[in-house]
């Protein structure tokens, strides 16, 4: 695993726990974790269960005893690492968004397609697909329970940047993060919408906005760990993204991604309305799904709560008795399960690098639309 910050902890949990609950066809060995700082990466290895640590990812990618490379670094390094790993014959799991630019994502997708011809697999870490309630929502739509999809509302709401004096980290710098709320959390809203509906966004009209333009620098360098200083640096990414999208069926979707929605901590919310029903999912209530059956008699209609914890629900047979809820970290175990099974069966896991490239094109279209005062902009056009 290359990188060992917040996502490093989450991915490590997935690699460690999945083999103990799922009957995997291959047993993952947590061989080595890579980071720039030898002291902190050594500590992470011991804390999370990695056999050893290293500071040069190129040396690790070239090792014969490594079969899988898991990339959890900032977006500006995804392309170089993933392309090198695929060329070295390693299966690759890469955190989202796939890259910082469409050009980088295209290069990654090309490398993945070439590697697939040699039996090498790759996947993007849009982990919220693996929340059982979200997967079950996909199954309900696919089975026709909502009829023709007419409208979608998707939003990812956080408030961790509300303090204008919060320090300038790498997530607020375009050269490292690519974009702000749009790519960091808006990418999840786009991917989950497409995953549940089975449709793709084809055009967008939107606006992106930076609300706080300067923040305190950190003592150990801009974008790195350290203590905030009295000096300030420029925020070069968006804080809020609002856009409308059209799906390939003609249905309309509205999207919001913000890290300034006061009081909302991690609210990834999606509501899908169809000709025969509707459903709603909220990550802050991730074991639940709201479902509306419009085919029922008028006097019996209304949204009802489905507790998605039965063993017949996606992934749940491996876990606890019904009603014993899961948490945020379980999605990463499900991700490992699906990735390992796909590699063993010799099939392409989803979401693929091609899926990640498409989301990158949606993000790019939103930015181009905003620059053109909200002009409707085709995805990839």
- Could you tell me what percent of the chain has a pLDDT over 70? 98
Query: Does residue 180 have a pLDDT over 80?
Result: yes
Give the model's pLDDT for residue 226.
61
**332-347 tens-digit pLDDT:** 999 999 999 999 999 9
Query: Does residue 289 have a pLDDT over 90?
Result: yes
β-pair type (252-258, 52-54):
unpaired
How sure is the predictor about 195, in pLDDT bands with cuts at 50, 70 and 90?
A: very high
**For every residue of the chain, which 3-state class applies, written as one string?**
CECCCHHHHHHHHHHHHHHHHCCCCCCCCCCEEECCCHHHHHHHHHHHCCCEEECCHHHHHCCCCCCEEEECCCHHHHHHHHHHHHHCCCEEEEECCCCCCHHHHHHHHHHHHHHHCCCCCEEEECHHHHCHHHHHHHHHHHCCCCCCEEEEEEEEECCCCCCCCCCCEHHHCHHHHCCCHHHHHHHHHHHHHHHHHCCCEEEEEEEEECCCCEEEEECCCCECCCCEEEEEEECCCCCEEEEEEEECCCCEEEEEEECCCCCCCCEEEEEEEECCEEEEEEHHHCCEEEEEECCCCHHHCCCEEEECCCCCCCCHHHCCCCCCCCCCCHHHHHHHHHHHHHHHHCCCCCCCHHHHHHHHHHHHHHHHHHHCCCCCEECCC
Give me the mean pLDDT over the 137-160 stretch: 98
Fold of the CATH domain 129-326: Dihydrodipicolinate Reductase; domain 2 (3.30.360)
- Enumerate the domain spans of the chain: 6-127, 129-326
6-127 falls under which CATH superfamily? NAD(P)-binding Rossmann-like Domain (3.40.50.720)
Give the model's pLDDT for residue 229.
75
**62-83 tens-digit pLDDT:** 999 999 999 999 999 999 999 9
Give the model's pLDDT for residue 222.
42
- The pTM (predicted TM-score) of the whole model is 0.95
Mean of the per-residue pLDDT values for the chain? 96
Query: Does residue 326 have a pLDDT over 80?
Result: yes
Give the model's pLDDT for residue 224.
45
Tokens representing 18?
């999945």
Give me the mean pLDDT over the 142-161 stretch: 98
Q: Which of 153, 185, 207, 164 is closest to 259 using CA atoms?
A: 185
Same fold, 6-127 and 129-326: no
**218-274 tens-digit pLDDT:** 876 444 456 767 799 999 999 999 999 999 999 999 999 999 999 999 999 999 999
């Amino acid at each position: 695993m290359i990188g060992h910050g917040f996502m490093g902890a989450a991915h490590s949990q997935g690699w460690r726990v999945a083999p103990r609950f799922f009957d995997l066809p291959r047993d993952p060995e947590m061989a080595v974790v890579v980071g720039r700082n030898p002291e902190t990466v050594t500590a992470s290895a011991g804390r999370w269960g990695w056999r050893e640590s290293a500071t040069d990812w190129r040396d690790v990618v070239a090792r014969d005893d490594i079969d899988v490379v898991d990339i959890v670094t900032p977006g500006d390094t995804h392309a170089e690492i993933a392309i090198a790993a695929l060329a070295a014959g390693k299966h690759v799991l890469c955190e989202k968004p796939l890259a910082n630019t469409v050009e980088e994502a295209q290069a990654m997708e090309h490398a993945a397609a070439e590697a697939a011809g040699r039996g090498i697999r790759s996947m993007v870490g849009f982990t919220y697909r693996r929340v059982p309630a979200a997967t079950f929502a996909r199954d309900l739509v696919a089975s026709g329970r909502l009829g023709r999809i007419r409208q979608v509302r998707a939003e990812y709401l956080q408030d961790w940047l509300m303090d204008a004096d919060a320090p300038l980290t790498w997530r607020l710098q375009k050269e490292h993060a690519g974009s702000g709320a749009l790519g960091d959390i808006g990418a999840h809203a786009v991917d989950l919408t497409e995953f549940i509906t089975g449709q793709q966004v084809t055009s967008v009209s939107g606006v992106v906005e930076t609300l706080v333009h300067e923040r305190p620098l950190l003592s150990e360098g801009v974008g790195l760990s350290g203590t905030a200083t009295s000096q300030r640096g420029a925020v070069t990414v968006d804080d809020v993204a609002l856009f409308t999208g059209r799906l390939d069926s003609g249905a309309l979707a509205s999207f919001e991604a913000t890290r300034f929605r006061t009081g909302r901590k991690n609210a990834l919310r999606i509501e899908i309305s169809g000709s025969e029903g509707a459903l709603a999912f909220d990550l802050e209530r991730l074991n639940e799904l709201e479902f509306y059956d419009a085919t029922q008699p008028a006097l019996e209609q209304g949204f009802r709560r489905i507790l998605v914890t039965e063993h017949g629900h996606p992934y749940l047979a491996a876990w606890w008795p019904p009603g014993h809820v899961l948490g945020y970290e379980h999605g990463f175990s499900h991700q490992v399960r699906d990735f390992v099974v796909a590699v063993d069966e010799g099939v392409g896991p989803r979401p693929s690098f091609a899926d990640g490239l498409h989301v990158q094109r949606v993000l790019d279209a939103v930015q181009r639309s905003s620059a053109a005062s909200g002009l409707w902009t085709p995805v990839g056009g």
